[in-house]
């Protein structure tokens, strides 16, 4: 709610032209009457100067652009989003599920206690059944694949964004990040740090497991970078995006590795949802037009705060898609490039329609002020201008000729 209330209102394309066109019309009417004293000339000027190009060009082009976007599996919620998407100067990307496939698999189970690997996996899966986290579902799937099925755990408590704890097979099981386990059981901090220091502190995505308050092992995951992401990042730069930044709540080693594989030069790790919002606001305060792309609940505040929020519907659910201005229905973040191209073409056609419409109206107003066009003919000319504006704006819904976008 705070992010929604702080989002600045958009200045629409038509508003920018209306600021000039309206007083200009009044001036032409005043000059025409001052020179001739003929109210018919004033009436003719007003008939030609009706602001239909301003009223019609933008919404017709915007609807056309939204229609064309939908054919590319890009759902745009409002006209403001399509007007601003093409002006993006900074693109912020979530990591898991956005630039990665978002389908991590258990790659290794390391047991450090009396429990074997399969038992450790079974106990962790039991309490993870009470969690809605993506990695929890992955862990449960692996346990089922190994035949390590356990009954539901009792007294399960999920600590949002940190981990989960409950009782299974008469033992207290805690599963979560390194800092979460260390904070729950400070006496185990040294063992955890020693484990990481002994060549185990690599970039693997992992969950730490404690059994009855004792650090018992680690479950490691692997999540692959999406094919074509490096090319996508490069094309964003070619399209005029000055800043591409990776934001993630994951560990620095993981985020750094993902950024390097993707060709992203700036990244931030161990981020809470509010910290992502802070990055968005700082860029917007510098005058950047910010596009935030994510797929998880923790991305929702940043999606709402950004100039344009983009959600991947294939992974994102509920609040993430509700918070976004643009939803990519396909499991493909590179569709953002299509959205940017469509947005730019749509805005270009809208501005072209407004300028041509107002330009022709201005010429007609000059002739009307000189007494060359009577009011009835001026009204007919305005209808012709309106029709031309609409037909030109409709081009936004069609694919350009010669295969150009």
Count of CB atoms situated within 10 Å of the CB of 386 = 18
Residue from 334, 352, 365 nearest 392 by CA = 352
- Whether 270 sits among the annotated catalytic residues: the reply is no
Task: Name the catalytic one among 15, 38, 94, 252.
Answer: 94
Provide the 10 A C-beta neighbour count for residue 177. 19
Q: How far apart are the first and last CA of the chain?
A: 37
The residue to which tokens 């005029």 are assigned: 240
Q: How many CA atoms lie within 13 A of 11 on its CB side?
A: 5
DSSP letters, 93-126, are EEIIIIIB-S--EEEEEEE-SSS-HHHHHHHHHH
User: Is residue 166 classed as helix, strand or coil in its secondary structure?
Assistant: strand
The Cα–Cα gap between 300 and 294 comes to 8
Name every residue whose Cβ is closer than 8 Å to that of residue 151 and which is 6 or more positions away in sequence. 126, 168
The answer to whether residues 210 and 216 touch, using CB atoms and an 8 Å cutoff, is yes
CA distance 375 to 354: 22
Under a CB-based contact definition with an 8 Å cutoff, are residues 177 and 207 in contact?
yes
Which residues does the annotation mark as catalytic?
94
């Amino acid at each position: 709610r705070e992010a929604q209330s702080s989002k600045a209102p958009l200045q629409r394309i038509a508003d920018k032209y209306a600021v000039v066109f309206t007083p200009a019309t009044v001036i032409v009417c005043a000059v025409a009457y001052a020179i001739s004293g003929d109210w018919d000339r004033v009436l003719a000027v007003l008939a030609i100067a009706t602001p239909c190009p301003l009223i019609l060009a933008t919404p017709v082009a915007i609807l056309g652009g939204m229609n064309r976007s939908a054919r590319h599996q890009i759902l745009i919620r409002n006209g403001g989003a399509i007007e601003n998407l093409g002006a993006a100067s900074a693109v912020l990307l979530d990591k898991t599920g956005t630039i990665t496939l978002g389908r991590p698999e258990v790659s290794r189970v390391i047991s450090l206690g009396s429990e074997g690997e399969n038992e450790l996996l079974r106990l962790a899966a039991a309490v993870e059944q009470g969690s809605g986290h993506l990695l929890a579902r992955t862990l449960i799937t692996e346990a089922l694949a190994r035949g390590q099925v356990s009954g539901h755990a009792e007294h399960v408590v999920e600590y949002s964004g940190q981990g989960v704890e409950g009782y299974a097979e008469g033992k207290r099981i805690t599963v979560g990040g390194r800092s979460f386990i260390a904070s729950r059981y400070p006496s185990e901090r040294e063992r955890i740090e020693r484990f990481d220091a002994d060549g185990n502190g690599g970039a693997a995505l992992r969950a730490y497991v404690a059994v009855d308050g004792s650090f018992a092992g680690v479950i490691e995951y692997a999540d692959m970078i999406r094919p074509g992401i490096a090319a996508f990042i490069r094309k964003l730069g070619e399209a005029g995006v000055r800043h591409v930044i990776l934001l993630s709540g994951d560990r620095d080693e993981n985020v750094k590795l993902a950024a390097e594989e993707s060709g992203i030069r700036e990244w931030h790790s161990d981020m809470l949802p509010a910290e992502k919002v802070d990055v968005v606001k700082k860029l917007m305060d510098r005058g950047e037009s910010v596009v935030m792309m994510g797929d998880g609940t923790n991305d929702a505040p940043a999606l709402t705060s950004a100039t344009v929020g983009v959600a991947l519907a294939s992974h994102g659910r509920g609040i993430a898609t509700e918070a976004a201005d643009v939803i990519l229905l396909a499991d493909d973040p590179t569709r953002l490039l299509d959205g940017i191209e469509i947005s730019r073409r749509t805005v270009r056609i809208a501005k072209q329609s407004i300028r041509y419409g107002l330009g022709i109206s201005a010429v007609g107003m000059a002739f009307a002020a000189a007494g060359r066009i009577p009011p009835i003919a001026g009204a007919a000319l305005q209808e012709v201008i309106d029709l031309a504006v609409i037909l030109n704006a409709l081009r936004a819904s069609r694919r350009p000729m010669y295969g150009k976008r």
